[in-house]
Each structure stands twice: as C-alpha cells, then as structure tokens.
C-alpha cells in the first residue's frame, strides 16, 4: 500500500534531525503530523516506515552494517551462516531481513514497543526465530538466563542508538549477553564520535573503542540517508569483537 505523504521543506529548516516530522494524508482528507521517531504510530500503517526512510530518504544502513559484518567474518575465516544474532531495537525487521539474506543461523529480535513485534511479524514473517518485548535497562534474572540459552555470538543494532531510543544501560546489557569473542555491529551518527560531543552515549562508545574489551575491525563513514532537504546525513558503521565481559563501571558516563 502506498501512502500519500508530504515532507515539510519550509518547516524543516527550523528543526533538528531529532525533531523532524512529516505529514500523512488520510483518504478522508485529514492531514496528520507524525514525528520521525514516533515509531509506535509509524508501525501502525504497513509500509509507511519503508516509504519514508527507504524510498524517499534513501536509507541504506541495514545493508551497509550487514555487509561490513560479513567482511569481518570473512577476514578471520569464520562461517557467517553459523552466527546466532541478537537484534536490539529490531523494529519492524529491516535489519533482520538484511541478515537473513546472508544466511545467518538464528535471529532473535528485541524491542521495547509491542507494535514493533506486531509490525515485524506482519511485514516480514519468518525472519525472526523469536522476538521479545523487553526493557533492557531492567532485565530480571529469569530473562537474562533465557537470552543466555541462545548462546548469541553477535549483537546488531541499527538506527537506534544515540537519540535516546536505546539508552547506554540497555546497549551495555545486550553486549554482555553476547559470548566472548562474539561480534558487535551497529551504526551511530557521525557527531557521536566527535570529542566535542560530551553526551553519555558518545563517551561510552569512544571509551569502548579505545578499551581492551573491544577489538575493532571496521569503523566506516557512510551516507546513512538523506535529510528532508536532500542533504546527506553521515553515520559511522562499527564492527568490533567483544574480547571479554564489559564492566558496569564503563556505563558511568552521564
């Protein structure tokens, strides 16, 4: 289904990337304003997320991050098809779909929004072996044990870090569910790697890159998508190997 949407060029000049929005026109003529990060609302309409971010704004992050992860595996002679992936902030399954094309063994999705799971199973049935609605800042022992039973050797998260969607504590918890020598593959906005960015998330990632807990294989700058004005928005795709359990003290960066 194609939706009638409008990107408000004039209004957009006065808002930041995190405040961006679009208009959705309904068959009855009603015009609805929806923020880019209003995922609960966007996922209610099949195909709307893809039409905005992939058709109109040319987002290509799932394929870029997956390709770099595949290259990292190839460089060390490991089999990509044996990988067991935890996809954090899975949304409606675009990253899971990209991983599935490369033939990974298992993919388990996680999101905090129930509508995300509904959208993933509606739009991409068969992609995920399991999908959990969990708050990773507050996992109980039973949930941790359940995830550990999967023996994950890879964590992916795409277009979900650094804007408050996934907090530092949640990302940290997810990484520590990954086996030692497992892989971490994600993307972040270009500015988050700048020393001038003093946000907690930015400092946390920079600390990890320089730490003994990660073995970094790729840090690649690429065009994440276009802004509504057609200006490229650059992100970094990062692929690293987890060398050991990451201490909780590293999260004390807020």
Residues 8, 119 within the same domain: no
Residues 46, 77 within the same domain: no
pLDDT of residue 15: 58
Question: What span, in angstroms and rounded, lies between the C-alpha atoms of 225 and 54?
Answer: 8
pLDDT of residue 166: 83
Residues 12, 80 within the same domain: no
Task: Identify the domain containing residue 39 by its residue range.
Answer: 4-56
Residues 187, 207 within the same domain: yes
pLDDT of residue 107: 99
The pLDDT tens digits along the chain (254 residues) read 788 888 776 655 555 666 788 889 998 889 999 988 898 999 999 999 999 888 888 889 999 999 999 999 999 999 999 999 999 999 999 999 999 999 999 999 999 999 999 999 999 999 999 999 999 999 999 999 999 999 999 999 998 776 666 889 999 999 999 999 999 999 998 887 877 777 778 888 999 999 999 999 999 999 998 877 778 989 999 999 999 999 998 887 65
pTM for the predicted model, two decimal places: 0.91
Q: Which residues contact 124 (CB under 8 A, 6 or more apart)?
A: 92, 93, 94, 96, 97
Residues 52, 67 within the same domain: no
Residues 105, 22 within the same domain: no
pLDDT of residue 10: 62
pLDDT of residue 201: 80
Residues 194, 231 within the same domain: yes
Distance of CA 247 to the CA centre of its chain: 23
Which of 16, 34, 56 is the endpoint of a domain?
56
Residues 178, 203 within the same domain: yes
pLDDT of residue 2: 84
Residues 126, 229 within the same domain: yes
Residues 42, 151 within the same domain: no
Task: Please compute Rg for the chain using Cα positions.
Answer: 18
Q: For position 209, which CATH number holds?
A: 3.40.50.150
Residues 148, 192 within the same domain: yes
Question: What span, in angstroms and rounded, lies between the C-alpha atoms of 51 and 55?
Answer: 5
Residues 22, 113 within the same domain: no
Question: What span, in angstroms and rounded, lies between the C-alpha atoms of 39 and 116?
Answer: 8
Q: Which residues are 86's β-sheet partners? A: 108, 155
Which of 16, 40, 56 is the endpoint of a domain?
56
């Amino acid at each position: 289904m194609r939706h009638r949407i409008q990107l408000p060029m004039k209004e957009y000049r006065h808002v930041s990337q995190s405040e961006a929005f679009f208009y959705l026109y309904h068959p009855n003529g009603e015009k609805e304003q929806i923020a880019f990060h209003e995922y609960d609302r966007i996922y209610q309409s099949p195909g709307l997320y893809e039409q905005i971010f992939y058709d109109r704004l040319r987002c290509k992050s799932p394929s870029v991050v997956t390709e770099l992860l595949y290259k990292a595996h190839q460089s060390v002679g490991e089999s990509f098809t044996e990988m067991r992936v935890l996809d954090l902030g899975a949304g409606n399954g675009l990253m899971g779909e990209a991983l599935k094309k490369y033939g990974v063994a298992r993919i388990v999705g996680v999101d905090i929004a129930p509508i995300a799971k509904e959208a993933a199973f509606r739009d991409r049935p068969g992609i995920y072996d399991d999908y959990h609605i969990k708050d990773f800042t507050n996992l109980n022992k039973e949930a941790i044990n359940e995830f550990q039973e999967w023996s994950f050797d890879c964590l992916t998260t795409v277009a979900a870090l650094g804007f408050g969607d996934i907090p530092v504590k949640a990302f940290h918890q997810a990484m520590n569910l990954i086996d030692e020598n497992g892989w971490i593959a994600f993307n972040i906005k270009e500015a988050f790697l700048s020393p001038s960015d003093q946000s907690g998330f930015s400092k946390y990632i920079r600390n990890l890159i320089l730490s003994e807990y990660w073995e970094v294989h790729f840090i690649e700058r690429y065009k994440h998508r276009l802004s509504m004005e057609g200006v490229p928005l650059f992100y970094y795709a990062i692929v690293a190997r987890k060398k050991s359990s990451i201490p909780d003290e590293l999260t004390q960066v807020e």
